[in-house]
Structures are given as C-alpha cells and as structure tokens.
Amino acid sequence: MERYAWKATVKEGKLAEYKRRHDEIWPEMVEVLKEAGICNYSIWNVGNELFGYYECEKGAEFAAKVQAESPVVDRWNEYMKDVMVMEMDPVTGAQPKLVEVFRLD
C-alpha cells in the first residue's frame, strides 16, 4: 500500500474554521476519498502549518486521478480557499506529494 503526505497552510485566524469544516466534511467528499482507495487519512497542524497523511489502497496515482476528475473535490477545494493556501501540482491536481526520507517499520 502506498502512502501519501502533503502540506499546506491555514490562513491567519482561520484554524478553528478549518477544523469545523473538517468536522462537518461532506458525505460526498468522503465517498470520493473512499472511491479513490484512500484510507487511514489524518491531518495534523502546528501553528498555521498543516501536514496530511493517507494510505492509498489502489496506489497514489489512482488516488490522484480519481480526485483530479471529481467535481466534488473541485467544489471542496473552492470551499476551502478562504481558510487555507494550497499549492497544487499542475499534473495531478493535488497537493504535491512530500518525499519520504525515513521510515521505521
């Protein structure tokens, strides 16, 4: 199973709103993530920095493709624009994947 990690920034004073929106994540967004084979998804923060991690049951390339083709993901990203800054990979349409430099199994 492939792992995927990303980073982003919450806009100043918007962390509580960012958390609220994820507490109320749209059911259709959850469905897209599951369709993409995404599981064990968590998002962490320190200050205004975000770190996201998930596992891809069907591979990271498949997960990126499903998300890039989803109008639900497009709407979610638009919805989140006022609370966070995301740099998107022009090829995948997702946050650039962080490079793993260490792993202890």
Catalytic residue IDs: 22
First-to-final CA distance of the chain: 13
Report long-range pairs for 96-104 (Cβ below 8 Å, ≥24 apart). 96/6, 97/4, 97/5, 97/6, 97/60, 98/5, 98/6, 98/7, 100/3, 100/5
Q: If we measure between CA atoms, which residue out of 101, 74, 86 comes closest to residue 8? A: 86
